[in-house]
Structure 1
Amino acid sequence: MAIPLRHFNFTCPVFSTQPIKIRKLLATRNCAFPPNDAQKLVIEVKEKLEKEYNSLPAGKNGRDDEELILWFLKDRKFSVEEAVSKLTKAIRWYHEFGVSELSEESVRSVAESGKSYVHDYLDVYDRPVLIVEVSKHFPGKQDFSEDEQLCVFLVEKAISKLPAGKEQILGIIDLRGFGTENADLRFLTFLFDVFYYYYPRRLGEVLFVDAPFIFQPVWQLVKPMLKSYASLVRFCSADVAREEYFTYETVPANLRK
């Protein structure tokens, strides 16, 4: 079964006079503002956050993080009010969740299960790859907060591997060996909520690999919760994932024949 994909096309003129951080992130679909106007909007949002939400933390992922502000402006089609609204929620979450405190060491115990990791290589579209092997996930036996922390740490890690000019990552959910004991609607919903609210438009595509028949009821339950993000999902075989998204040298170990 193949679900049509909706790809975001972030393209607009970029001029070399723009500061590097702003210029790097300015490519956006239906871009209605030249770079100078975008910079003015970033300053407007920053000043509005300073004036109306002074209690929000500053610094990376804070109310004065211009790179973050521009990304949310792009997500909200350069609406200052909408960007501020979404940013305030995101900034609170980043700091309450402790995103900046996550590390390889802090997630080591749950990461050792091998159920989720960032692939060493990019896919053929130069996207970092976040892989989940669902058969290794046992929600009844594992701490949900640790799974959340691993998820966010890996999203951050994948984004940090983005090449210059690239903005989105590929998710691969390997469903081979999936059983009812692996089903976890709560975590799947959390995963997509993280991308929608806190890392908008970072997820370019999600491959559901070799979904067994018993996964269909799970998908029917979770699909309405994902809303527009459901259109990013493609059901495919391991062969398709291997041959269409990787080279022989870069294919993930779990997809090798």
Structure 2
Amino acid sequence: MASAAGGGAAGEGEWLKVAELRATVQAQDPHAKELDNLTLRRFLRARDHNVDKAAAMFLKFLQWRREAAPDGFVPEEQVRRELAQDKVCMGGVDRTGRPFLVGFPARHYSANRDMAEFKSFVVYFFDKICARIPRGQEKFLCVVDLKGWGYSNCDIRAYIAAIEIMQNYYPERLGKALMINVPYIFMKAWKMIYPFIDNNTRDKFVFVDNKSLQETLRREIDESQLPEFLGGKTPLIPLKDCVQQPESV
């Protein structure tokens, strides 16, 4: 079992609750012992340190994980069509050392989407970015570039599915989502998505005005790590070109 060290500030009372949570979930599912204390702490924090609620959430996660990734990861072959569209790419790290990914929703077309494959793709890229999180960090940053987004890209069901997977099975992993180049028509879709986002996650979505785009990006990401298409020096890596990493949640 991994050490809890390096996972951010926590008081003795919180670690006691983590121990209580571990005892509760291992009594019901022995596979819980395979997950470290930092993972348990994220579920605990996601449920405001209520051990019973965190236990229910964590046990549901274990069952989901066995179904969503029975081999410990989603194989590339299972999401090949999604990967070919290059709608998610890996970037560098932000100023705090968090890795970030860049999403291009304008490359997603609802008419061509298979929901089962899309959900597997969401698991695939969350696993990829979480595997890149270094020791001492627990979160990642996301840049969502909505340039060119239109009605043919609008897929409310898919967006909600992705958010629910993140909230339910990757709690406390998202540090911030910078929404950039946002067209006015997207806000109509956002009004339908918003009710499905929990209170803690809502605050992490930041809509960046075009006038302050470069200032905001450079405040979060050093120029050496900023993607080339946003005026930086680092090329993006399409998800399909990333080497398969071990399971990470």
Q: TM-score range by the shorter chain?
A: 0.7 to 0.9
Cα deviation code 1:30-75 (max 9, x no counterpart): x46164x35642541244324xxxxxxx5xxx42224133432343
The residue identity in structure 2 corresponding to 1:152 is V
Moved over 6 A (4+): none
Question: Which residue of structure 1 lines up, in the alignment, with residue 119 of structure 2?
Answer: 148
Cα displacement (A) at 1:85: 0.7
The residue identity in structure 1 corresponding to 2:27 is K
The residue identity in structure 2 corresponding to 1:175 is L
| Structure 1: distance between partners of 2:231 and 2:67 | 39
| Structure 2: distance between partners of 1:65 and 1:124 | 32
Q: Is the 8 A contact 1:207 1:241 kept in 2?
A: no
Cα displacement (A) at 1:133: 0.5
Unaligned runs of at least 5 residues, structure 1: 1-18, 51-57
Alignment coverage as a number of residue pairs: 225
The within-5 A match list for 1:81-96 is 81-96=52-67
Question: Which residue of structure 1 lines up, in the alignment, with residue 202 of structure 2?
Answer: 230
Question: Which residue of structure 1 lines up, in the alignment, with residue 32 of structure 2?
Answer: 63
| Structure 2: distance between partners of 1:141 and 1:77 | 39
Q: Please give the secondary structure, in 2, of the residue aligned with 1:190.
A: helix
Greater relative CO (CA pairs within 8 A, separation 6+): 2
Change in CA separation of 1:139 and 1:44 when aligned onto 2, cut-off 3 Å = same
Cα displacement (A) at 1:165: 0.9
| Structure 2: distance between partners of 1:243 and 1:182 | 28
Question: Which residue of structure 2 lines up, in the alignment, with residue 24 of structure 1?
Answer: 6
Change in CA separation of 1:240 and 1:149 when aligned onto 2, cut-off 3 Å = farther
- Calculate percent identity across the aligned residue pairs: 22
Cα displacement (A) at 1:114: 0.9
Unaligned runs of at least 5 residues, structure 2: 233-249
CA-based RMSD of the aligned residues comes to 2.4
| Structure 2: distance between partners of 1:143 and 1:126 | 35
Range 78-87 or range 165-174, more displaced: 78-87
Question: Which residue of structure 2 lines up, in the alignment, with residue 14 of structure 1?
Answer: none
Question: Which residue of structure 2 lines up, in the alignment, with residue 117 of structure 1?
Answer: 89
| Structure 1: distance between partners of 2:123 and 2:101 | 11
| Structure 2: distance between partners of 1:221 and 1:137 | 18
Question: Which residue of structure 1 lines up, in the alignment, with residue 167 of structure 2?
Answer: 196
Cα displacement (A) at 1:181: 0.5
Cα displacement (A) at 1:23: 2.6
Cα displacement (A) at 1:102: 1.0
**TM-score normalised by length of structure 2:** 0.80
